[in-house]
Amino acid sequence: MNRRLLGSLLLACVLFSACSGTTGAAPAAPAAEASPVPTAFDGARAMAHVQALAGGIGPRVAGSANEQRAADYIRDQFKAYGYDVEEVPFTFSGDRFQPATVTIDGKPLGSAFTLLGSTPGQLTARAASVGLGDAAGVAGRDLTGLIAVADRGTLTFAEKYDNVRRAGAAGLIVVNTEDGDLLGTIYKDGDIPMAGVGRAGRATLNDAIAAGKQVTIEVPPTGKTPSINVIARPAKGAECRVIVGGHHDTVPSAPGAHDNASGAAETLELARTFAADGLDAGLCFATFGAEESGLFGSQEMVKDLASRNALPRAMVNLDMVAVGTQVSLIGTAELVGPALAKAKELGIDAAAVTLGFAFGSDHQPFEKAGVPVLAFATNDLGNFHTPQDIVEAVSVTMLDSNGRLAYAVIAELLQRVAQG
């Protein structure tokens, strides 16, 4: 799920929202069972897809080799179910996960990311610690030509930048004070190279500062980041009256089991389930790239469909559907109401909730274009956007509840709009 500036959720609910990890071929499909293949939604089969995406591939940042592996895996699953499948590449600007490089003695200092607003280029200079980059760390100091090294915390990144720049700093590195990568923006155009690094690099940077070693920051030119959507249709060029999907990308360093291998996995298992008795006219499935970077994949799909006057009559989104005790339903009233009634009929605990202002997910571009939407999630964020968002934290029971309810709701949607 995309988190613009992590904040609270409304109505005390929950919700939504790679750097390259292992490279190579996409994981194999889940092994075929000796027993007959189930024709109903099967949480265990969805769990096998979570394992393949989050466990086998790992972090799947937009534009990375791992995102391509995930897209290839998803494509192959859809094809195995009989769909006509297309990988649709696109590019986007303003990537908040743009990598940078920090090097000491010719060795990269782990993962580093560009602070948005940084000027591109390469700078090699001695570094100086400035604490938090506040008055206590900067006041009275001459940082001319040096790379300022500031800790995360207390001040905004913009304030740290302003303070060290006034003191003459030629570059800025901000070090995370918590586990994980550091991503950020100064919300304006700066004039020096700037990067964020993880806490694990602090000791090495401190040693370099003490020894007076040269540190190199390299920030690539701002450009277009590639990503991929995957769409499965019942036949080549078929109209999509209902689109069911979820994003397959992650933030850096997060295996993304809950956010959002779970949604991509349920999309695949729903596609298999609906195909069990023959493909349904008007029903399409998709997974989106670059959701975490700003909903770019779903925006791209909406733009393309709208240009061809081919927007769907409904869109069902699956994002963070595998941790918690209750299904969360978000969307337009005409779809949320029937979904709540269906949940009660099936004995599945569900509640209508409102997506908090700081969160976004792939149903929103469709909703903005006038398409009725229904998003499935759960009442627990789990460890989303962290390295602890792992397969072991996922609940097969929650996957199954969400998936069974989604199947029943989509089946009714088909009767009402897809075939109408």
Give pLDDT tens digits for 338-376.
Answer: 999 999 999 999 999 987 655 789 999 999 999 999 999
Q: Is the pLDDT of residue 9 over 50?
A: no
Least confident of 11-25, 109-123, 400-414: 11-25
User: Strand 99-104 and strand 214-219: pairing?
Assistant: antiparallel
What the block records as the tokens of 90 is 């696109």
CA dihedral (171, 174, 180, 181) positive or negative: negative
Between CA 139 and CA 179 the distance in angstroms is: 29
Q: Which helix (H) or strand (E) holds 15?
A: none
pTM score above 0.85: no
Q: Is the pLDDT of residue 6 over 80?
A: no
> Which CATH class name applies to 99-219?
alpha beta
Residue 71 phi/psi, 5° resolution?
Answer: -60, -40
List every span in the chain annotated with CATH 3.40.630.10.
2-94+225-418
List every span in the chain annotated with CATH 3.50.30.30.
99-219
Residues 120-134 have pLDDT tens digits of 999 999 999 999 999
| Crossing angle for the helix pair 262-275 and 43-50, to the nearest 10 degrees | 130
Residues 208-267 have pLDDT tens digits of 999 999 999 999 887 789 999 999 999 999 999 999 999 999 998 899 999 999 999 999
Indicate the SS3 state at residue 230.
strand
User: Strand 171-175 and strand 147-151: pairing?
Assistant: parallel
Q: Is the pLDDT of residue 307 over 90?
A: yes
DSSP string over 50-103: HIIIIIII----TTSHHHHHHHHHHHHHHHHTT-EEEEEEEEES--TT-EEEEE
* CATH architecture group of domain 2-94+225-418: 3-Layer(aba) Sandwich (3.40)
| Single-letter residue type at 156 | T
